[in-house]
Amino acid sequence: MSQHSLKQVAVNSLRGKKCTTFLDSKRALDNLDFSQIDNCIIDQKGVSHEEFFGKMISELAVILEWDEFDVKLYVQLLRAGPMTASALAKEIASDRTKAYRGMSNLINQGIVTTTFSNPKLCIPTSPKEIIEHIIQRKENEIIRIKNDGRKIIEKIHEICPTNVANYHTYHVVQGLQNILSFVEKLLENASDVVYIVTTLKTISKMYHTRIPEKIKICEKNGCEVRLVTELDDSSMQLFVNRLKATKTKIGKLPSNGMVIVSKDKQLIISGQQIQGYWSQNDKSNSALCTNSPELVSNLFYMCTFLWENSHPLKTSRRGEKDE
């Protein structure tokens, strides 16, 4: 998220504008986190600047994997410009010792630098540099896990050779991030039709995962991904299209939860999600994952019924209505 986008969020919030002011700006859509838009638009309720700013801080903390207080310090530096740690503590009405400790964390990570002047001024590193650094660190971590993982698997097979039968099982997954990871795996392993039946709010969370990429893989494997959702506001069609499902229909959902089922393969189902801000680290979200033939078959039949009784949505990718 650029400094311009952060300031744009704050300014528009202070002016009392609705989040829909961002919808016509591609630049804002690319830089602003999707859930900040969908939370405001779906609820259709005005929020105070403090609430909006707090949600943005929480969202950034999840993305950057920082402490929320450190994010607050960093964002305030971006908004106000270089200043001393003492002045920054006054700006955010925080205890000076806590602000110094937080600033020390940011400096040690290279997120903030200081001048040679006396008193020292704290200078925030650009968001672009920080994101590039995080991406590089994650890529290095993935390479390490892949290399070490192969060796570990080989050693385990040598010590514990196993031949597990093909049992029908189920397990409960907690945490939004874990749930969406299982959705990615379901899509990658699909061999026929996959139904995604869920709300617009859940779709917005999927957009920030590898699910759109896995949908492409699913289609390359000869599968078809059918999305069923509710759409009360036609201006939100853009966000539904961006998930890039093979076909999309609009209909009445049975609940505010999520049903994702791969024909003759696997089922992921969750109940109604908790109202309000939905964090990826929130362990209160849970889903049932199973390969039980009976459950998979029954839910696939239900999704087929919903599909046949929903009306098609014109997608931007194909330029024509789904049949």
Residue 142 lies in a domain: no
Amino acid at 31: N
pLDDT computed for residue 20 by the predictor: 35
| CA-closest candidate to residue 225, choices 319, 295, 322 | 322
Is residue 289 within 8 Å of residue 170, measured between CB atoms? yes
Facing residues of 237 across strands? none
Q: What are phi and psi of 44, to 5 degrees?
A: 55, 40
**Which residues, at least 6 apart from 43, have a Cβ–Cβ distance to it below 8 Å?**
none
pLDDT computed for residue 157 by the predictor: 79
pLDDT computed for residue 263 by the predictor: 94
Q: How many CA atoms lie within 13 A of 252 on its CB side?
A: 2
| Domain enclosing residue 73, as ranges | 3-127
Q: What is the CATH number of the domain that holds 177?
A: 3.30.870.10
Residue 257 lies in a domain: yes
Q: How many domains does the chain have?
A: 2
Residue 303 lies in a domain: yes
pLDDT computed for residue 9 by the predictor: 43
Q: What is the pTM of this model?
A: 0.58
Per-residue pLDDT of the chain (323 residues; tens, 9 = 90+): 444 444 444 444 434 433 333 333 334 334 444 344 444 443 444 556 677 777 788 878 877 778 889 999 999 898 888 999 999 999 888 889 999 999 999 999 889 999 998 889 999 999 889 888 888 888 899 899 988 988 888 888 788 766 656 788 888 998 888 899 999 999 999 999 999 999 988 888 888 789 999 999 999 999 999 999 988 777 777 778 888 899 999 998 988 889 999 999 999 998 765 444 444 455 678 899 999 999 999 999 999 999 999 998 765 444 444 43
pLDDT computed for residue 318 by the predictor: 41
pLDDT computed for residue 61 by the predictor: 81
CA distance 144 to 134: 15
Q: What is the CATH number of the domain that holds 15?
A: 1.10.10.10
pLDDT computed for residue 163 by the predictor: 64
CA distance 247 to 226: 5
- In DSSP notation, 195-249 reads EEEE-HHHHHHHTTTTHHHHHHHHHHTT-EEEEEE--S-GGGHHHHHTT--SEEE
Amino acid at 86: S
Tokens found for residue 259: 């049903």
Facing residues of 249 across strands? 228, 312
Q: What are phi and psi of 171, to 5 degrees?
A: -155, 155
Is residue 236 within 8 Å of residue 206, measured between CB atoms? no
Residue 141 lies in a domain: no
**What is the number of residues in the chain?**
323
pLDDT computed for residue 205 by the predictor: 84
Residue 115 lies in a domain: yes
Statement to judge: residues 287 and 190 lie in one domain? yes
Statement to judge: residues 193 and 306 lie in one domain? yes
For 307, other C-beta atoms within 10 Å of its C-beta total: 19
